[in-house]
Structure 1
Amino acid sequence: MEKVEGPASIVSAQEGSFRLTEGSAMEIILRYLNEVDRAKSPQRACALATTIIAEQTRYSRPAIFLYNPRTDSLELTAYANHNPTAERITRGKGVCWRSFASEEIQVVNDVTKDPDYFQDMLDTQAELSVPIVWHGSVFGVLDVESSQRDCFSEEDVRFARLLAGILGSVLSHVETETQFRKNLERGKMFRANLIKAQEALNRALEETNAQKGAVEEHARIQRALIDVSRTLFVCRDARQLYLLIMEILVRELGFPTVLVFGRDHREAPLSCQASLGIELDLEQESLLMGGSGIVGHVVQTLEPYLCSDTAQDPYFDPDDYGTRSELVVPIRSGDFLWGLVVAIARRPGAYTLRDLETLTLVAGFMSVVLENIANLDMLAREIKLMRFLHGMVHELSGERDNRSIALRIIALLREAFDDMLVTVFDVREEGGRMEIFPMASSGSMEEAEGLWRDVVLRPGRLFQSTVAQAATSRKVVSVPDTDQASGYVRGHSDTRSELNIPILHGERVRGVLCFESPRPRTFTQDDEELFVILARHLGALWAVNDLLDMTELKAMRDGLTGIWNRRFLFSYLEGDGEDLVRRGGTLTLVMVDLRRFKLVNDTYGHAVGDEVLTTVAAFFYKRLEGVGFAGRYGGDEFLIVLPDKTLEEAERLVEELGRGVKELAFSVPELRTQANFGVASCPRDGVSIVEALRRADERMYEAKRRGT
């Protein structure tokens, strides 16, 4: 596992130039993202992180230790709010090393009970250690000590984990830039060596004329190789590189029949990228890359191979081209195979050791260029992903509607990844049963719902789908190539790769992010990590919105009866009620008053009075289900709302409700109650709902005076 080189110096947070103001954890993270782009070194990025921890958790004393492979130890890089005595933690020592070695968060609520704890500050009572990890590389540990036991909340842990992830990304970028500079220096070294070789060749030309023809040819190749290096090192696209190298091999170096195999990126499979003098169909390409023959031997050994006569070569597999000479050179970077250059001829002895050396040099150039392209692409992608997450958190932080959040997420993803189909699924679990249905899609929502209904929801097929597998397992489910996946339930016919990310909050699965691509093996490990972070943010936002909705809903309920309260009734009348009337609909209102309710309280006590109110409310709730709803208007008065019901229909319903109220039984056997009703309809009894409500109230009091 790769590690960042150890820090050159220790930076105190007080020494840094970054100071953050008070604010929410999300606002602080956004500020950190903005500030860390201007950090010139890992030490400054670490100092900013410790400052944020110190300001975010009042009783915490943060420090960051980065791993130094030369000393095989964790070395103190930055700290805040205290002066650590331990500047180096050796292998196997302390909670920090345990977090680093296991790559897991360590929460020690009482350091006296942890056998691995070693004393740093005298009053330390609790310790939190978070590994700094990015893309499988462990860079060090973010450690927080506190003078209070049991002080670290789940929010503190999530905040520290997110901060450590961002810090890991920054350290990864530093490592990537360092590697990129090394690769550039390697390229310069290649060019310098070639120039020296050309100079040596020129001196050899002056010393002898006997071998003039061979030397001139060698010089021509060397000059061509120098031109090749200049041309290749400005190339920034892998496919363009393969086509360019094919043109150079034929035009500049004189190879008549050449095949170039390669990858578009590190995760892509080997395939034929360019050819001249020979054409391969898919079956022939598969046979050639199948692991046998001279090509298969080079793939296994990663060493160049020259076959001067295929009739006498033990590795050669007979082909349809009459091949008698074959030269195969790997394009490799360390133990990683980027591709192969294959030259063939129909006569024996067509290629020499000089040809082998030439192709080996060309393959070396290609490997350096491909590594540079990969590093540049990775760096650009990391920057793009960080900006995407930054923009996503910024745009969605104030959104209250979960479906609107899903639609905005899809819009952001479409801007960043325009070659994917993205669908957000809502997952609901009630009574041990799971329901899954599409919530939003970057394609046609009607098509998404139709495919889900007609293909996936057929009997016995729901939990065979990858979406359902991600929801039930709460794990990422990836299908690199749907054509090779046994039992894959296909929705869209052109889907070749699919990635499903569960949207989780705590232990609850709230949804699934489904990504589909028409190309196989589209989704990389980087994509998966990004989408997992995105799903976590989405799950948290949904959970917060649901909590707010529950709080608002609770505020709309009557505390005694459990039915809607006066606040909700007026909110409905001013909103949905007005809309209904404005569209030409009818809204009928029924005011209800319980007869002689004060006498019930005076005779039997307020507990029985409350029983009467809750019993009547429960009766109204049950009887009005699917017809309308009732709310407590105040005291012993109720308001019944009947959308799209005429005055005549409401009056018939009122008669039934009046009989039902009379028949209600209570804990006092002899107690019975009756109700007075007043009915009015809008717009029949008033051009506005306010007028209709006043008319219903008047009619209720008229009924109360009549005693009917």
Structure 2
Amino acid sequence: MVRVLVIDPTKFFTERYYELLIEKGYLCALVENEKTLQEQLSKPIDLLIADIDGPGLNHLATVRQIKPYLPILALSARASLELAQSLLRLRVQDLLPKFVKPGELLATLEDILLNPARIYYREKPILLAELEEKIHELSIFNELARTLTSTLELNEVLRIIMVKIKDLVKSEALSLLLLDEKNKELVFSASETSETNKLKGVRLKLGQGIAGWVAQTRQALLVEDVYKDPRFFQEIDKIHSFKTRSIMCVPLLHKDKLVGVIEVINKYGGGAFTEEELKVLMELGGEFSEKIQNALPSEANRVFKDLIAQTKNLTKAEAFSVLIPDEERKELIISASETLRGGKVEGLRLKLDQGIAGWVASTREPLLVNDVQKDPRFFKGVDKLSNFQTKSIICVPLVSKNNLLGVMEVINKADGSSFTEKEFQLVRSLADHAAIALENATLYRQVELSSITDDLTKLYNSRYLHRFLIQEIQRSKRESLQVSVLLLDLDNFKTVNDTYGHLVGSQTLVEVAQIIKSKVREIDVAGRFGGDEFIIILPETGPDRAVSIAEEIRKSIEDLTILKDFDLNISMLSASIGVATYPDHGKEAEELIHKADKAMYQIKQQSKNGVRLAS
């Protein structure tokens, strides 16, 4: 067993990767300070992993004094040539970013263990050049991770992405196209060329041009000579007076949903793009697809922004905000706002009965207050947090079909005068229209979810499961990861149905679904495959861990002896679960499902109520 010592003063590594190492069979020990480090260094160690931010770099000097030849893997959220030179002097085998993907971390550990002297015995001038290039890449990825988690503004996200791609892939032109689902088109949302920039807002049909093909097929593409490719659409070059020679294009996918496409055009110097550069671009796409999706305005937010814009035109007020209810916490959240001065208030929460907005939400009655200082319902807390002074306010509920969807506030006439009764009625009318639009947006989202959700269990349906598994296998191929599939079939479910009826049978399936949801992680996907069969997809999970999870689920179903709400004995119920893992048991989705299904039926034929790994 490989003995690994982890120096982790910030506990960053421990929270993200420690369990992964244990799962992979590494024998790990943790140190957080100099004293425990020296104690651990007196013991046999095969490899050291060190978070070198903060005091970590000083710890490496201690390590080298006691164990001159111990292989070291360093992790850092910062990057510079000076740091690379320090690591070289300390004979560190490799440096990875703190936000490293699990597959890359494991591959690097294996590589170091196979060749522990790989950096120490290289020629230093060559190594420094390699390190300088690697440090540049690491700094880009680290900054990308930090900046993309600090903003939700779409334009800022797109700007960051363009800058990072430009730093990593030297090209003459870049474009980022986002999907307009309604019109089935790609829209040039950000672009940059060495000569001109006239593409923003230009649209392509899905399937049109290389970008349209990539969006339609969801496959990355590298074309060395576009004039030999029939998919190339020359009209875009004419729009911005540019000549495309070669192109890399990758799809942006988030949870199997197309977000957009990135194009990188013409390598500087006239050379050809490499497969390695395409791989880097695909990795970048994976990094920020989710962030772009999160930054895209939801249908509800579009309604809110439109409501604020229309109200602004009609009332000439200083500030506007829309608050939405959080029923579970009995609070109102400021979801959208705009002020002519003062700080941002979006995200702030009020109790459901707090302030004028809380009163309006509770009573569902609109309110006009032209001097809030004389109104006991006024809550000064928001003004203090936003450095704003509220003088007068119109506050109206957003109600549709007797459901409270939110509250709209219009604050302070810009000229200092009082709001009129006419303005009050106009805001109320706008709010009524907005409530209908908001209800429609909510219904649209519900329809969208229902297309991928099983009506009974509220787990994903087989259609979505199949798409997700294909996507996860493709990602696992790129990143050298494993993905496992559990196929679960209930034992004696027909007996439950025959004994108690289909209503109890349906409730039993719901209970089983709840057990499955409680046993899987956020990154896992569980669904009903049909009848009394369920599938659980476990990304980044090997066979041993997958079998362990399957056993936890099996045991919990076995323990389900009494059906809640019915007080009926269903102790005859159990589960047979087959397990298959990519790439061990198959390299395609259908093959994995078939292997898991075969393993499951072998249990059915033998004893039932068990877990079996595919062979």
Query: Which interval holds the TM-score relative to the shorter structure?
Result: 0.3 to 0.5
TM-score with structure 1 setting the length: 0.35
Rg larger for: 1
Q: Which has the higher contact order (CA 8 A, sep 6+)?
A: 2
Q: Provide the TM-score with structure 2 as the length reference.
A: 0.40
